[in-house]
């Protein structure tokens, strides 16, 4: 069946899993989840003009475009693998607890100066998004960059099975998804499945050499390209952080200064990663510099936003204890007045949740702020001296009524907290 589907796909190389977005000629996979069942929309997909409809539940539809399979998601992943095997190009997989998307975007910016690249759109980095990303690789692509998210062990291993990366990069192993991974060591084991795959397949790893745990995790990989602040092939340091991050990179043959449009020195490893990948693929330091300097972050990631007399660091796409700590410490170090911190609760921390929220409150108390607002999550379960609201919408109302001027804000929280809605009231 996969061969037949692939022949259709080659004529109509577009995949859809939502009939509301389906266009004539596209392939429709009837996926199922806790709150949806694509099988119920098979007839509608055919009426829209789908070139093929893949279902995994019995039905009475008589149409040659309908394909019955045991599991539509598995079929999607198998089709993605079939497409992947048609390419003999570098496929770089990126995972990690923090900075995956920014690193992926920076690397794509650098590589696309010289190559025809294909990369993950937004954060389509899960069991559905990754096969869709693979199937979006055009036949003229020269390099593919695939982002992999995970919240439990064996997940990255499963993605590698059909992504078949030739190169890999783990940004870091922090305190994210502790509940699913089973603690910090579980995070390392889970993220390390990418390096395990590269070790077995004689792949190449880009390794942040500053972290000792990566020395162990990458041991035995065929080829290792190191980057970091010292003792690495590509090294760099922060020059200044206000208003944007400026760094100096050492390429052995020359040093270059890069004035990025990123906020926070926690983005230094992300820039170093992009530089290391670019250098490996023979891109000149000058092109690397230009690509990084021209990259503008989006999607509430390390964005500096100006609204009237206020400035806001909007980093509200996601949060975990590691990224929260880095953001708070970076913000505390800025030499500006009237600093306000708006933090949303952190999710998927399991039994560690209350303890990690308590640690954040203790960290906040180490610094002087003009104001602190905590929203939702386990901030509700602990004692603290700060303003608290159950939702970002409630915090937004307070901000609207308070009418702060000449403030400098840090807004951060887990995706489900939707902290970006508070931006409208500043």
- Output phi, psi for 168, to 5 deg: -150, 155
Asked if 204 and 276 count as a contact pair (C-beta separation under 8 A), the reply is no
Given a cut of 80, is residue 144 above it in pLDDT? yes
CB 146 within 8 A of CB 95: no
pLDDT at site 405: 95
For residue 419, the tally of other CB atoms under 10 A from its CB is 29
pLDDT digits (tens, 9 = 90+) for 41-80: 999 999 999 999 999 999 889 999 999 999 999 999 999 9
Query: What are residue 94's DSSP bridge partners?
Result: 147, 169
- pLDDT at res. 315: 87
pLDDT at 252: 78
Question: Do the beta carbons of residue 147 and residue 95 sit within 8 Å?
Answer: yes
Q: For residues 328 and 316, what is the distance between their CA atoms, to the nearest angstrom? A: 13
At 106-141, the pLDDT tens digits run 999 999 999 999 999 877 889 999 999 999 999 999
Q: Give the HSE-up count for residue 97: Cα atoms under 13 Å, Cβ half-sphere.
A: 27
Output the pLDDT for position 108: 98
The pLDDT of residue 283:
97
Mapped onto helix, strand or coil, the DSSP state of residue 412 is: strand
For residue 300, what pLDDT band results from cuts at 50, 70 and 90? low
Per-residue confidence band for 163, with pLDDT thresholds at 50, 70 and 90: very high
Tell me the pLDDT tens digit for each residue of 333-354. 998 999 999 999 998 898 889 9
The 10s digit of each residue's pLDDT in 198-257 is: 999 999 999 999 999 999 999 999 999 999 999 999 999 999 988 899 999 999 778 999
What is the dihedral sign for C-alpha 263, 315, 151, 390? positive
Q: What is residue 174's predicted lDDT score, i.e. its pLDDT? A: 73
Instruction: Report how far residue 14's alpha carbon sits from residue 125's, in angstroms, rounded to the nearest whole number.
Output: 18
Residue-wise pLDDT for 263-288, tens only, equals 889 999 999 999 999 999 999 999 99
The tens digit of pLDDT for each residue in 18-32 reads: 999 999 999 999 999
């Amino acid at each position: 069946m996969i061969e037949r589907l692939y022949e259709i796909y080659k004529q109509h190389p577009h995949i859809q899993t939502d009939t509301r977005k389906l266009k004539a000629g596209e392939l429709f996979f009837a996926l199922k989840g806790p709150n949806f069942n694509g099988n119920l929309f098979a007839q509608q997909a055919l009426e829209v003009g789908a070139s093929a409809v893949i279902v995994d539940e019995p039905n009475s539809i008589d149409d040659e475009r309908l394909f019955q399979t045991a599991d539509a998601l598995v079929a999607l992943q198998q089709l993605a693998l079939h497409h992947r095997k048609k390419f003999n190009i570098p496929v770089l997989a990126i995972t990690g607890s923090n900075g995956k998307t920014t690193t992926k975007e920076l690397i794509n910016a650098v590589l696309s100066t010289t190559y025809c690249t294909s990369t993950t759109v937004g954060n389509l980095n899960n069991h559905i998004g990754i096969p869709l990303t693979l199937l979006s690789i055009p036949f003229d692509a020269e390099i593919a960059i695939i982002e992999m998210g995970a919240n439990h062990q064996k997940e990255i291993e499963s993605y590698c099975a059909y992504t078949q990366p030739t190169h890999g990069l783990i940004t870091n192993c922090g305190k994210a998804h502790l509940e699913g991974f089973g603690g910090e060591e579980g995070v390392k084991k889970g993220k390390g499945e990418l390096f395990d795959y590269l070790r077995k397949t004689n792949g190449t790893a880009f390794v942040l050499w500053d972290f000792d745990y990566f020395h162990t995790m990458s041991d035995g990989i065929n080829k290792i390209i190191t980057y970091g602040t010292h003792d690495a092939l590509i090294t760099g340091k922060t020059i200044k952080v206000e208003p944007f991050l400026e760094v100096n990179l050492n390429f052995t043959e020359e040093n270059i200064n890069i004035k990025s449009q990123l906020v926070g020195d926690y983005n230094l490893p992300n820039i170093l990663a992009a530089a290391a990948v670019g250098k490996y693929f023979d891109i000149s330091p000058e092109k690397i510099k230009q690509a990084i300097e021209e990259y503008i972050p989006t999607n509430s990631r390390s964005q500096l936003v100006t609204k009237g007399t206020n400035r806001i660091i909007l980093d509200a796409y996601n949060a975990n204890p590691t990224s929260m700590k880095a953001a708070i410490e970076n913000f505390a170090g800025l030499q500006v007045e009237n600093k306000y911190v708006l933090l949303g609760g952190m999710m998927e921390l399991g039994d560690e949740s209350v303890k990690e929220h308590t640690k954040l409150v203790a960290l906040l108390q180490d610094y002087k702020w003009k104001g602190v607002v905590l929203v939702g999550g386990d901030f509700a379960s602990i004692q603290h001296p700060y303003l608290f609201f159950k939702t970002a919408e409630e915090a937004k109302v307070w901000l609207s009524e308070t009418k702060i001027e000449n403030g400098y804000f840090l807004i951060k929280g887990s995706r489900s907290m939707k902290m970006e809605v508070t931006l409208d009231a500043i």
